[in-house]
Amino acid sequence: MYLLVLQRILLSFIWDFFYFPLWWYSSGTKKAIIYCYHFFECGNEFLAPWIWLKNIFVPMFGQYDFQGRLVSFFVRFFNVFFRLLALFFWFWFVLLLFILWFILPIFVFFMFYISVFKK
């Protein structure tokens, strides 16, 4: 009884060990891309620069005189600029996370190889 369980666990471990790289660089990569896309979308929804850009000429606080429109335009312009800048950095952060996720198994294997075979 225990021998069958041990055999099943051992075969499962061997299968998972050899299947892991195939999964990581195929369907795992697809899942990581989808996750990174949704992560970027969350940043876009949080910063929402397009909503600010859409309302750039709408006066703030109901100030429809010239000064209110002028102040509202510049406030929204700088708000859109800095939000787009933050979204740009957010994009590069998400891309860096994906690249790190993609390179991680190679790095782990390389460090394992150095620690075991290089003395």
- Give pLDDT, residue 61: 87
The CA-based diameter of the chain, rounded to the nearest angstrom, is 87
Amino acid at 59: P
- Give pLDDT, residue 118: 81
Domain count, the chain: 1
The C-alpha angle 49, 85, 38, rounded to 5 degrees, equals: 65
Q: Is residue 109 part of a domain?
A: no
- Give pLDDT, residue 41: 97
Q: Is residue 75 part of a domain?
A: yes
Q: Is residue 112 part of a domain?
A: no
Q: Is residue 56 part of a domain?
A: yes
The answer to whether 26 and 61 are in contact (CB under 8 A) is no
pLDDT in 10s for each residue of the chain, 119 residues = 788 899 999 999 999 999 999 999 999 999 999 999 999 999 999 999 999 999 999 888 888 999 999 999 999 999 999 999 999 999 999 999 999 999 999 999 999 999 998 86
Q: Is residue 23 part of a domain?
A: no
Question: DSSP labels for 8-70?
Answer: HHHHHHHHHHHHHHHHHTTHHHHHHHHHHHHHHHHHHHHH-HHHHHHTTTSPGGG--SHHHHH
